[in-house]
A and B are shown apart, each in its own frame.
Chain A
Amino acid sequence: MANEESGNAKRMSIIVTKGTLDWAYPPFILATTAAAMGLEVTMFFTFYGLSLLKKKLDLGISTLGNPAMEMPMMGMHMKMPNIVSMLPGVDSLATGMMKSMIAKKGVASIEELRMAAIESDVKMIACQMTMDLFEYKPEDMIEGPVLGGAATYIETATKSEINLYI
């Protein structure tokens, strides 16, 4: 608390490149926690990470290419081989299981963490190039993030003690 008020706060930046439900957690957890610990935090949302700034979030997970994924089930752990991922409906089933675990275990939703990030003054930069590339409209995105590019991020990164790429 003392830090941020005296203007000597340490800084952290995170490049957010992934937009699935599982990968949305690390950047938002770290950003909100760092802000709670008095750091000035900037998040740069680019490529698939940019979808995390859409007003309406519809996040899912994919079991494909995720060989370390083990879902707890009846006291055991179920692996998800890639061949199973090919079956229609498996990803939505896995997403449903993940969302139910998240609610049951007292883990925050991404919507909740994103709101906490905004409330704790985490700065957000939406990648202009990705907006153009994927044809996102400004009206589809939440209010608050500024549009910027690589140079905007690098300027922040040069002033930050911690720079993460997720």
Chain B
Amino acid sequence: MADQVLDAKGLNCPLPILRARKALGAMNSGATLEILATDPGSVKDFEAFCRTTGNELLSSVNDNGVFRFVIRRAG
């Protein structure tokens, strides 16, 4: 269970990333954020976002068209 959940369903690029960044910025390092999105482009985008920012992508799952990402905030 993630510490916080962000519902980004129905939002298109780049809004899921922007909302996730905002949510992570307000969290403590080590805390986890679960993001729900319907934008298929968000799969590759969250991978790239995490590689670049150092936040850790713990999981990325396609749940019947809803993409669920869990990210751990970097230190």
Residues of A within 8 A of B (CB): 1-3, 29, 32-33, 36-38, 105-108, 116, 120
Interface pairs A-B: 5 shortest CB-CB = A36-B21, A106-B12, A33-B14, A106-B10, A37-B52
- Give chain B nearest CB distance to A40 CB in angstroms: 13
Encoded as 1 (CB less than 8 Å from any A CB) or 0, chain B from 41 to 60 comes to: 00000001100111100000
Contacts of A120 in B (CB 8 A): 18, 21
User: Do residues B54 and A1 form an inter-chain contact, with CB atoms below 8 A?
Assistant: yes
Count contacts between A and B, CB distance < 8 Å: 49
| B75 interface contact, C-beta 8 A | yes
Q: A33-B18, A36-B18, A36-B21 are in contact. Are A1 and B55 (CB under 8 A)?
A: yes
| Cross-interface CB contact of B74 among A1, A106, A107, cutoff 8 Å | A1
Known: A1-B53, A37-B49, A37-B52. 13 other contacts (CB 8 A): A1-B25, A1-B73, A2-B74, A29-B14, A32-B14, A33-B18, A36-B18, A38-B52, A108-B11, A108-B12, A108-B14, A120-B18, A120-B21
